[in-house]
Amino acid sequence: MENNNKSQAELYREERKERLAKAAAKNAKKSPMSVKTQKTVKKVISIVLAVVIAFGAVAGVLNFFDIPQKTVKVSIDGVKEKISLAEINYFYFQTWMQSFNTAAQYEQYGEGMGLSMTGFDYTKAPDQQEYTEDQVQFTGVAMEDLGDIKEPTWQDVFTYSAVYQLVNAKYGAEKAREAGLKLTEAEEKEIDSQFEEMRKTAKENDYSLNRWLRLQLGYGVTEKLIRNITEEMYLAQKYYDKVTEDTTNAVTADKINEEYKANKDDYDVVDLRIYAFAADLGNNHTHEEGEDHEKEHAEAEAKAKKNAEAFLEKATDEEKFIAAAKSDILSKDNKSTKDPDASTLVENTKYATLTSSYSEAVAKWVYDDARKAGEIAVVDGENGTFYVVMMKTLPHKDTSIYSSDVRHILVQFPEKNTDGTATSTKDEDGNTKKNITEETKKVTKEKAQAILDEYLKNPTEENFAKLAKEKTEDPGSKDNGGLYEGVMNDGKYVKPFTEWAIADGRKAGDTGIVETDYGYHIMYFVKAGNLSWYQAVQTALVGAEIEEGIAKEIEDCVHSVKLDSFTINWTLKRENKHISTIIVNNLGASHAGHNH
């Protein structure tokens, strides 16, 4: 009966804590080396006995040859294949390197920006940095994900990430094999080409590939190990794609409509005008508690609210709203080039976006059933900010096309204009600048029109695909007849191309010519995907299904591993030393922040 008063989240955390405790007890009874491992180690010791004496200890020899990293395995509940310390090293190093590079890139915008934007101090080794609740927002790794570790460091976070990636690969690969999924010949060739590139790099630096990989990626990392991991990741992805496809196919239109009706505010979109007035607490805020502080704070907020209300009186319609915004912008900076139209317009936005970008109060006001189109009000957004909000539309279904399949034939602009000048040049910073004359555009478009006219003599998709294979200058789509599937407004394709592909009213067989910086695209509309609202609901339902199913299973597998075990800590101590050397080499000894 006691459990009836607890939330699902609380019950799940308790259940997971109990499972972790059982896993820890189970692991504590096991030897860190299997019988097979012990035999391997004994064999190595007998072979290199003379070297043992020179090094002074068996451990020194084993470490030199990375024997423990390759042979000591860590068990995972729910996964048949154990993970080696070398595999943990590999993913641990990769995770650290990604964080290091990201933080270092932010640092170019100002000292301390790397830490501010990522929560990670790239000048210190992971085990020398405390990990706190405040940093969860940067990584998504919650404290409870780290098990029973009392004072976690970034080493624990990177270890969790490494184990998660390993489990993700091994679990998915095992399921893929059970389902009869195999790598295609093309995928195997792709993997081979990746290793050829690695081998080429190693040779350029006068190393064998294995030696190069060990130096670059950590102890025990070899070509065989990375190839095995890569193949497992490819297989795992095939399995997860299949799970997603099967789950998506199982979500019926009735389920989607039921979910939409039950949670309309999660999916509806709205168009608004918003202008903010924030209380100026910079000069008035004394950072001291007491009546004076409260009075200054209240006065600053009252001024901001008064300014918002004065704006409201002027902005009686949309045109006057824009004019009032322009006046206020120029009153603060009479040289400002800020566009009052674009800067106040908020289109196709959802409740959640309004909450994160503005405030919960704004979202609640906008999505209140009492709202009317054209209504305008001052909304207290809390924290001393007041928003003047105008309803351009009421919340509604987003009926735009989410994605579509199209074919195209690209006729590129030539390297030289008709007058002999270059159509593109580079400035001193290496940025490309287009310099295409109108005459060159005219000639290029005529070529595109001629191809379109040829297609129209036999207006079938098969004929368009045939012409694309023959005439397109886009190598990325030539072999499949100019086909691009799932084109959506995600920035992947140039804007004019995308806008044509997902324009309202498109029908199968529609054609057109679109100009981009590349040239002219002869477009053919194959089919539209889901409408945006339908896709949003479907994605949410599929995500929830996967989260409750396979994602939870993977999490359970990860949490069966004791992240701060002696075995894992031992190998990561050496890996952190390796990382510290890299930090010193990249930033100088004064920034190393680590002393072994």
Sheet-wide strand order for 385-391: 345-349, 270-278, 385-391, 376-380
How much is the average pLDDT of 366-389? 95
Model confidence at 581, pLDDT cuts 50, 70, 90, reads confident
For the packed helices 85-107 and 154-178, what is the interaxial angle rounded to 10 degrees?
A: 120
What pLDDT, on the 0 to 100 scale, is given for residue 578? 85
At a CB cut-off of 8 Å and minimum separation 6, what does 307 contact? 277, 386
Q: What are phi and psi of 347, to 5 degrees?
A: -115, 150
3-state secondary structure of 132: coil
What pLDDT, on the 0 to 100 scale, is given for residue 280? 82
How do strand 345-349 and strand 519-528 relate by DSSP bridges?
unpaired
What pLDDT, on the 0 to 100 scale, is given for residue 108? 87
Model confidence at 291, pLDDT cuts 50, 70, 90, reads low
CA 392/CA 523 separation, integer angstroms: 33
In tens, the pLDDT along 53-67 reads 333 333 333 333 344
3-state secondary structure of 573: helix
Q: Which among 57, 154, 148 is positioned nearest to 103, based on CA atoms?
A: 154
Q: What are phi and psi of 78, to 5 degrees?
A: 90, -5
At a CB cut-off of 8 Å and minimum separation 6, what does 547 contact? none
pLDDT of 1 over the 90 cut:
no
At a CB cut-off of 8 Å and minimum separation 6, what does 31 contact? none
CA 117/CA 52 separation, integer angstroms: 48
CA 238/CA 244 separation, integer angstroms: 10
Percent of the chain with pLDDT over 70: 84
Side-chain-side CA neighbours of residue 405 (13 Å)? 12
pLDDT of 8 over the 50 cut:
no
At a CB cut-off of 8 Å and minimum separation 6, what does 201 contact? 212
Instruction: Give the angle 220-221-222 at the CA atoms, nearest 5°.
Output: 110
Sequence length of the chain is 596
Q: Report the predicted TM-score, pTM, of the whole model to 2 decimal places.
A: 0.72
Percent of the chain with pLDDT over 90: 62
How much is the average pLDDT of 27-37? 32
Q: What sign for the dihedral angle of Cα 135, 139, 142, 147?
A: negative
In tens, the pLDDT along 440-473 reads 999 999 999 999 999 999 999 999 999 999 999 9
Are 558 and 176 within 8 A, CB to CB?
Answer: no
CA 311/CA 320 separation, integer angstroms: 10
pLDDT of 15 over the 70 cut:
no
How much is the average pLDDT of 334-347? 94
* CA distance to 152, 155, 158, 561, 567, per residue, from 27 (Å): 21, 21, 21, 8, 11
Model confidence at 18, pLDDT cuts 50, 70, 90, reads very low
Considering the chain, what is the average pLDDT of its residues? Answer: 84
What pLDDT, on the 0 to 100 scale, is given for residue 79? 78
What pLDDT, on the 0 to 100 scale, is given for residue 566? 86
How do strand 424-426 and strand 376-380 relate by DSSP bridges?
unpaired
Instruction: Give the angle 219-223-228 at the CA atoms, nearest 5°.
Output: 100
What pLDDT, on the 0 to 100 scale, is given for residue 290? 59
Model confidence at 282, pLDDT cuts 50, 70, 90, reads low
pLDDT of 89 over the 90 cut:
no
Kindly provide the residue ranges of all beta strands, DSSP E only, lying in 350-505, ordered along the sequence. Answer: 376-380, 385-391, 403-412, 424-426, 432-434, 483-488
Q: Which among 241, 141, 163 is positioned nearest to 557, based on CA atoms?
A: 163
Instruction: Give the angle 519-523-529 at the CA atoms, nearest 5°.
Output: 130
Q: Which among 517, 587, 578 is positioned nearest to 90, based on CA atoms?
A: 578
Q: Which helix (H) or strand (E) holds 192?
A: helix 185-204
Q: Which among 461, 122, 38 is positioned nearest to 113, based on CA atoms?
A: 122
CA 245/CA 250 separation, integer angstroms: 9
| Cα 502 from chain centroid (whole Å) | 24
Model confidence at 569, pLDDT cuts 50, 70, 90, reads confident
**Amino acid present at 427:** D
Q: What are phi and psi of 414, to 5 degrees?
A: -70, 170
What pLDDT, on the 0 to 100 scale, is given for residue 47? 29
pLDDT of 9 over the 60 cut:
no
Are 88 and 74 within 8 A, CB to CB?
Answer: yes
What pLDDT, on the 0 to 100 scale, is given for residue 73? 53
Q: Which helix (H) or strand (E) holds 224?
A: helix 223-250
Sheet-wide strand order for 403-412: 483-488, 403-412, 519-528, 511-515
What pLDDT, on the 0 to 100 scale, is given for residue 475? 93
Partners of 79 in the beta sheet? 76
At a CB cut-off of 8 Å and minimum separation 6, what does 64 contact? 55
**Amino acid present at 202:** A
CA 393/CA 272 separation, integer angstroms: 7
pLDDT of 554 over the 50 cut:
yes
In tens, the pLDDT along 194-249 reads 999 999 999 998 999 988 888 877 778 889 989 999 999 999 999 999 999 999 99
In tens, the pLDDT along 342-352 reads 999 999 999 99
Partners of 422 in the beta sheet? 416
Q: Which among 45, 505, 539, 20 is positioned nearest to 267, based on CA atoms?
A: 539
What pLDDT, on the 0 to 100 scale, is given for residue 289? 57
In tens, the pLDDT along 391-418 reads 999 999 999 999 999 999 999 999 999 9
What pLDDT, on the 0 to 100 scale, is given for residue 213? 86
How much is the average pLDDT of 296-303? 90
What pLDDT, on the 0 to 100 scale, is given for residue 16? 42
* CA distance to 327, 408, 476, per residue, from 324 (Å): 5, 45, 49
In tens, the pLDDT along 115-152 reads 999 999 999 999 999 999 999 989 989 999 998 898 99
Environment class of 445 (CB within 10 Å of its CB; exposed 0-12, middle 13-18, buried 19+): middle
